[in-house]
Amino acid sequence: MIEIDIRRNLTALKSLQIRANQPDFLLTWEKSPDEIKAVALIAETFKEMHRRRIPFRIFETGLAISIFRDKSTRTRFSFASAANALGLAVEDLDEEKSQISHGETVRETANMISFLTEAIGIRDDMYLGEGNRYMREVAAAVDEGHREGVLHQRPALVNLQCDLDHPTQSLSDLLQLKSHFGSFEALRGKKIAMSWAYSPSYGKPLSVPQGIIALMTRFGMDVTLAHPEGYDLVPEIVDIARSNAKSGGGSFSQVTDMDAAFKDADVVYPKSWAPYHVMQRRTQLLQARDKAGLSELEKECLAHNARHQSWECTERNMAFTRGSNALYMHCLPADISGVSCEHGEVSAPVFERYRLATYHEAGYKPFVIAAMIFLARKTNPIAELERLAQF
């Protein structure tokens, strides 16, 4: 395990331009490069402080509210542990047990859960075009509540995954890359293959690949997006990745061949997702509560997926990577051939070789979430961090 130089991180933080009064973290591309680096450096510092058993509690009281509209393991427990480490009690909003099931509006619910709340984490990734919009509706509601004196403080909102982006995951991935290659600067010129991979399920969100291509292009990486024809991402976010590559000094390309994407790659990220047009149709069917239509769409998509079972990360295509030893990454859980399914995203030997590395990758997430809340709630975060680190 690499020991982090906390003093060096504090010095690096002092050189960054961080905007004040930015309470929410909803999309990485809405944040400046310096703000992204600040979250990463603070998360890295918190992780090292935790390793040294130095507490980073900043609250004496208050709640952190989690709203999960989809299943979760890593992100759910990461949010809870981050909030707890900061000194907050965690309460999960179960919509079926709340007045939401009786028609309570988002505007009302957002204020009712926020009286002593410091942070709200939301996961809403099932409806394309809806998840990030819902988060902004909550943000607007607590803005009004604070402005009108209903709330003594305005809670910070953290995107725990939406239909467009998964910021806590992509920042965890960024820290894994920084650790692996040694620095942010060392990422320049490194090739990362963000590739679709076969899964025996359908409807997986687009947010992980979109988060990767939008963020890693900002750090000068050469990003290759690979998928079979028809498995497109949201076009506007592909455009963001292309623009970020220009401003970040890297490159962005698209191919329809997994082996071509893996060729000379320093990093591979094989991950299944549903096609953009499928997620559009799925949202319409979900909103219409059309169970028969959803069942038919699932059959159609699984049959289409089955044509691409060769899109699997194996020792054969890992041999195309730079030095045949590229870093394998995954947000987890991976569909492992012969383990969690018959045929999946990655072969068992490849996954086992990198299994602990993927655990380290996931291990950054609670500290990333803590860093997002910390930056949102502290007016002088560097001075506060120096106090916490006992410098």
Give the integer Cα–Cα distance in Å for 216 and 301: 29
Q: How many percent of the chain have pLDDT more than 90?
A: 90
Rounded to an integer, what distance in angstroms lies between the CA atom of residue 340 and that of residue 272? 14
334: left (phi over 0), alpha (psi -120 to 50) or beta: beta
pLDDT(169) > 90: yes
Residue located via tokens 């609250």:
59
Mean of the per-residue pLDDT values of the chain: 95
Q: What is the mean pLDDT of residues 178-206?
A: 95
Across the range 265-283, mean pLDDT stands at 95
**Cα 84 to the center of its chain, rounded Å:** 20
pLDDT given for residue 2 in this prediction? 66
Instruction: Return the residue matching tokens 């099931």.
Output: 101
Indicate if the alpha-carbon torsion angle 335, 338, 342, 345 is positive or negative.
Answer: positive
Q: What is the C-alpha separation between 162 and 21, in angstroms, rounded? A: 23
Confidence of residue 96 (pLDDT cuts 50, 70, 90): confident
pLDDT at position 156 over 90: yes
**The pair of three-digit structure tokens given for residue 87, joined into one six-digit string:** 């000194």
Q: Which amino acid appears at position 142 of this protein?
A: V
Give yes or no for residue 345 having a pLDDT over 90.
yes
What's the confidence (pLDDT) of residue 1? 54
Q: Which residues, including other chains, have CB under 8 Å from residue 250's CB and lie 6 or more apart?
A: 188, 189, 216, 217, 219, 220, 221, 222, 223
The number of beta carbons lying within 10 Å of the beta carbon of residue 290 is 13
Q: Is the pLDDT of residue 324 over 90?
A: no
Q: Which domains does the chain have, with CATH numbers?
A: 6-165+365-388 (3.40.50.1370), 168-363 (3.40.50.1370)
Interacting residues of 257 by C-beta distance below 8 A, sequence separation 6+: 226
What is the per-residue pLDDT for 203? 82
For 254, the token pair is: 């698209």
**Residue of higher predicted confidence among 94 and 154:** 154
Query: Residue 20 — pLDDT band, cuts 50, 70, 90?
Result: confident
pLDDT of res. 245:
98
The answer to whether residue 28 scores a pLDDT higher than 60 is yes
3-state DSSP assignment of residue 186: helix
pLDDT band with cut points at 50, 70 and 90 for residue 104: confident
Q: What are the distances in angstroms from CA 150 to CA 96, 107, 142, 184, 365?
A: 25, 12, 9, 42, 32
Determine the average pLDDT of the residues in 69-94: 95
- pLDDT above 60 (res 348): yes
pLDDT at 227 over 70: yes
> CA end-to-end span of the chain, whole Å?
23
